[in-house]
Amino acid sequence: MRILCDINHPADIHLFKNALWRLRDNGHKYFITARDKEVTLQLLDEYNFSYVAFGKHYSNITGKIYGMFKFNTLMYKEVQRFKPDILISSGSIYAAQVSALIHKPHISMEDTENSYEQIIIYRPFTDVILTSTSFERELGKKQIRYNGYHELAYLHPRYFTPDQSILKILRVHPQDHYVVLRFVSRGSTHDIARKGISRENKIKTVEKFSRYAKVFISSEDPLLYELKQYQLTIEPHRMHDVLYYATMLYGESATMASECAILGTPAIFVDDDGRGYTNDEERYGLVYNFTESIDDQERSIKKGVELLQQPRVKAKFRERHRNLLKDKIDVTKFMVWFIEKYPESAAIMKKSAFYYKQFA
């Protein structure tokens, strides 16, 4: 089988990497296409993936419309060259539309309920949309659910082993506490009208948390002058080591909040729309969800201080994360089976909705 994987976002590399390696080991061939967004190309290089990059990602509406035509054209050329049997992505408009042009199936991994425009555009051209059982939207007959999250595909203990050498890079003693703050840009279609955590509360958060722990900030946008001294400077592929050993994560990234849930690190997620998976993780006591209202921002900071004051907070969260892992499946294992056996796999899942349980 020849598999084309289109990468929308750096997190997609982590989502698909283990599945692609396993598919390769099983005798299949894959090829990757991508846009130059944030650290996407750095990660692809780090993992020694062969790929074609179609240029810079566009963040405004006009650019996105232009990009649809540009990237579809470039994608079509690569598809003609590689001749895939199947295309996979995490909600890629380009992979979906080009798959329809060449009459090949497209499988989308979707986890973002508020990607309204993106889903509307790619759904007509997509054969199957795989979502978590925690996904809080119904997407019709093409939707198939499984009991897991994207982040389990790469942070499940079968695939991730933390490397304590990161503490030396951070200049942090193993017994010290540190907090990671994560601020995102608003370039995604589902984020454009959003403001996020206020400037004042970003500064306030650092001031409050610094009383209890060392603070590091990871930000997609340039940091405020007052906060530059806290900027986290590491190689992108070491971020999960940073999160594993952190005392807490606070910020605007749903993906990082979920990553922390899988790793057993307390996480506070601030976002108006939220995500089905972080809501599910809150039921396990691993993620605390807040809106972007000023009152909720204040409450989120208070919750952060409360967690930092708790003795042995990480031990409590590691126990909770073990409970989560007992309930969820091995998402990589499920993806490999679904792709290799498609379209029979889709028919099996439609007939037996809980078939995914055998991939625990």
Two tokens at 49? 């993936």
Question: Checking phi first, is residue 172 left (phi over 0); if not, alpha (psi -120 to 50) or beta?
Answer: beta
Task: Examine the pLDDT at 199 and tell me if it is beyond 80.
Answer: yes
Distance spanning both ends of the chain, measured CA to CA: 25
Percent of the chain with pLDDT over 70: 98
Task: Return the higher-pLDDT residue of 67 and 316.
Answer: 316
Sort residue 287 into left (φ over 0), alpha (ψ -120 to 50) or beta.
beta
221-242: pLDDT as tens digits: 999 999 999 999 999 999 999 9
State residue 57's pLDDT score.
Answer: 73
Neighbour count for residue 104 (Cβ, 10 Å): 18
CB burial string 266-278: b at 16+ within 10 A, e below? bbbbbbeebbbbb
pLDDT at 190 over 70: no
What the chain holds in terms of domains, given with CATH numbers, is 2-148+329-359 (3.40.50.2000), 166-326 (3.40.50.2000)
Give the model's pLDDT for residue 195. 82
Closest-CA residue to 177 (of 187, 191, 167) = 167
Q: Tell me, what's the pLDDT at 191?
A: 45
- In this predicted structure, the answer to whether residue 202 has a pLDDT above a threshold of 70 is yes
Q: What pLDDT, on the 0 to 100 scale, is given for residue 354? A: 97
Taking residues 275-298, what's their average pLDDT?
A: 98
Query: What three-state secondary structure class fits 325?
Result: helix
For 204-279, strand residue ranges (E) read 214-219, 248-251, 267-270
Mean of the per-residue pLDDT values of the chain: 95
Confidence band, pLDDT 50/70/90 cuts, at residue 101? very high
What residues pair up with 106 in beta bridges, in sequence order? 87
Res. 281: pLDDT tops 90 = yes
Element (H, E) at 283: helix 276-283
Q: What is the pLDDT of residues 16-51, one digit of tens each?
A: 999 999 999 999 999 999 999 999 999 999 999 999
| pLDDT for position 328 | 98
Name all contacts of 267-272 with Cβ < 8 Å and 24+ positions apart.
268/300, 268/303, 268/304, 268/307, 270/196, 270/197, 270/296, 270/297, 270/300, 271/194, 272/194
Using a 10 angstrom Cβ sphere, with 0-12 exposed, 13-18 middle and 19 or more buried, the burial of residue 344 is: exposed
Rounded CA Rg of the chain: 20
pLDDT of residue 54: 94
pLDDT(98) > 70: yes
Four-residue CA torsion sign, 116, 120, 122, 123: positive
pLDDT of 185 > 90? The answer is no
Band (pLDDT 50/70/90 cuts) for residue 200 is very high
Residue 64 has pLDDT above 90, yes or no: no
Banded model confidence at residue 333, pLDDT cuts 50, 70, 90: very high
Q: Which of 349, 356, 353, 348 is nearest to 328 (CA)?
A: 356
Mean per-residue pLDDT for 156-176?
A: 97
